[in-house]
Amino acid sequence: MNRMNKTIAFFGMMTMAVVMVPSVWAQDSRWSSEDSAMVARIHDHVLGQGGCVEDLRVLCKEVGARLSGSPEADAAILWGAKTLREAGAPEVRMQTVIVPHWERSDVERAWMRIDGGQAEPLKISALGGSIGTEGQIEAPVRVFRQFEELDSLGADGLDGAIAFFNRPMDPLMISAGGAYGGANNQRSRGAVEAADHGGVAALVRSLTHALDTFPHTGAMRYDDAVHRVPAAAVSTVDARRIAGLLSDGHDVRVGLEMGCILHDDKAQANVIAEWTGTEYPDRYIVVGGHLDSWDIGEGAHDDGAGIVHSIEVMRTLVALGYQPRHTIRVVLFINEENGNNGGKTYARKAREKGEWHVAALESDAGGDAPRGWAIDATDAGTEAVRAWRESLVDYGMGDLRRGGAGVDIGPLKKEKPADQRPLMVGLRPNSQRYFDYHHSDRDVFENVHPRELKLGAAALTSMVYLLDRLEYEALGTEDE
């Protein structure tokens, strides 16, 4: 081949290579002036006219705590549908979900005796799913940090005592979420370990870095192969005191009376708002949080904030006259806290219908100021989002890390084929105060900063807009 023919062939190959590059790279390798203008408009609208703060006030103060199966959760579902319609959602519907119905009951008290003295009140919070005590129980307390310490005692080593698990969240970890995860198994499995070693109950140190007097509840589970014993959390202040007394050689006994009830499962619903896309009506971008909360506090940060963030996405894009390319769904999931049946049901129904979710976003990390995003995607999808880093930094949300994007959207990763799994993104607010409130009486409307809540809503709306601009042929999430 002569030099001229080689030159023609080379440029022909280069032209073909350019054509074959997925359009996502041509589109999202830079932040366009159009994108800059739209993201600025989104922030202006949410900060100036957004309704998320008032939405959160109503959800917290007029509906309140809303554990799956409860009448308050029923009320929250109706409120969510009404609020989405008022936000301008073209279509709102319910998706039936069967949820567990556990009730704490009005009977919940505890006491402590030191060296055989008078009983003094001890504040507790039954863990979600715990059985009741069927009257009163009182027993000596043994303290542990790791399950291996129990194993060293043998099968009946507790000999009728209460196992007290006192492993703090690691204060040296920068990620509060990582510290929470490192201490969580004592809450989720503590009752099983206590019963399996001859114990009559489990007490657990609350999962928070804060030193305060608020017990934090949360989900626990049983093992069908091990008999069931009740489980409750104590505050970090009381945990420190109990551990100190035992360390000093005192005899500590704790009494419990809990009337917890596990009712039959109940039908409730995910709330789904849908806005059909103009170019890809059969490709879906889903954004949401979970509508249920624990039954103490008001569920303001967990996850009222994520709910009102998601509603604000619909309200803002409608108000700005945006026309989505892909079909956008806002989903208010039910039952994340004690089963995730809302997320599982949504994903199962999507698979049955053959729906292709190109992207999924979740806000379930509180209402504090946004810092960035957790990205669960292929290398191509991750780089597509990271290409916006420089401009996202200007809005305080440029920390882009790979990791879990959210519990509710997680089941969507099971979609097949692998290249049609959604690009998944989770909002990451500042996490350092989140576990001060999490699952406790402190998780109330007053502990959410209005401006930080609005910034989170603007961040989530901006990311939905940006993801709607992508092409998805080469994107998705990795194989598990």
- For residues 394-411, average pLDDT: 95
CA dist 477 and 471 (Å) reads 15
Query: At which of 217, 238, 259 does a domain end?
Result: 259
Residue 390 sits in the same domain as residue 422:
yes
Closest CA to 261 of 70, 121, 122: 70
User: Cα separations (Å) of 112 from 119, 139, 393?
Assistant: 5, 10, 51
Q: Same domain, yes or no, for 97 and 111?
A: no
190 and 290 together in one domain = no
Are residues 128 and 93 part of one domain?
no
pLDDT in tens, 35-88: 999 999 999 999 999 999 999 999 999 999 999 999 999 999 999 999 999 999
119 class by beta-carbon count within 10 Å (0-12 exposed, 13-18 middle, 19+ buried): middle
CATH code where residue 237 lies: 3.50.30.30
Which of the four pLDDT bands, split at 50, 70 and 90, describes residue 126?
very high
Query: Taking CA 277 as the corner, what is the angle to CA 273 and CA 281, rounded to the nearest 5 degrees?
Result: 100
Asked if 226 and 192 count as a contact pair (C-beta separation under 8 A), the reply is: yes
CA distances 93 to 33, 329, 331, 332, Å, are 36, 11, 10, 11
Give the CA-trace dihedral at 299, 304, 305, 309, to 10 degrees.
170
Asked if the structure places residue 377 within a domain, the reply is yes
Same structural domain, 299 and 252: no
- 475, part of any domain: no
Label residue 241 by pLDDT band (50, 70, 90).
very high
Asked if the model's pLDDT at residue 24 lies above 60, the reply is: no
Is there a single domain that holds both residue 229 and residue 284?
no
Band of the pLDDT at 415, cuts 50, 70, 90?
A: low
pLDDT at 363 over 70: yes
Q: Is the dihedral of CA 311, 317, 321, 323 positive or negative?
A: negative
Judge contact between 324 and 277, C-beta under 8 A. yes
* pLDDT tens digits for range 301-316: 999 999 999 999 999 9
Contacts of 329 by beta carbon, 8 Å cutoff, 6+ apart? 272, 273, 274, 275, 284, 285, 286, 287, 288
Of 252 and 20, the one with more pLDDT: 252
The answer to whether 412 and 420 are in contact (CB under 8 A) is no
Asked if residue 11 is part of any domain, the answer here is no
Domains held by the chain: number? 2
Q: What is the mean pLDDT of the chain?
A: 92
Domain boundary among 227, 259, 291: 259
Backbone angles phi, psi at 234, to 5 degrees: -120, 160
Same domain, 253 and 336: no
- Quick check: 456 pLDDT over 80? yes
Residue 69 and residue 157 share a domain? no
Residues 233 and 134 in one domain: yes
In a domain, 473, yes or no: no
* Domain CATH code at residue 98: 3.40.630.10
Give the pLDDT confidence of 157-174 residue by residue, as tens digits: 999 999 999 999 999 999
In a domain, 136, yes or no: yes
**pLDDT band at 477, cuts 50/70/90?**
low
118 and 201 assigned to the same domain: yes
Evaluate whether residue 82 is within a structural domain: yes
With H, G, I as helix, E, B as strand and everything else as coil, classify residue 253: strand
Q: What is the pLDDT of residue 14?
A: 39
CA distance 299 to 443: 6
**Both 111 and 94 in a single domain?**
no
Domain limits for position 156: 107-259
Q: What is the rounded distance in angstroms from the CA atom of residue 397 to the CA atom of residue 383? A: 16
In a domain, 15, yes or no: no
Q: How does residue 419 score in pLDDT terms, banded at 50, 70 and 90?
A: low
| In a shared domain, residues 97 and 246 | no
Q: Which one has a higher pLDDT value, 1 or 140?
A: 140
Domain membership flag for residue 155: yes
Q: Is pLDDT of 418 > 70?
A: no
Burial of 27 (0-12, 13-18, 19+ CB in 10 A): middle
- Output 406 or 3, whichever has higher pLDDT: 406
- pTM score, two decimals? 0.92
From 200, 230, 259, give the residue that closes a domain: 259
Q: What value, to the nearest 5°, has the Cα angle with vertex 108 and ends 104 and 113? A: 150
Q: With bands split at pLDDT 50, 70 and 90, how would you rate the model's confidence at 22?
A: very low
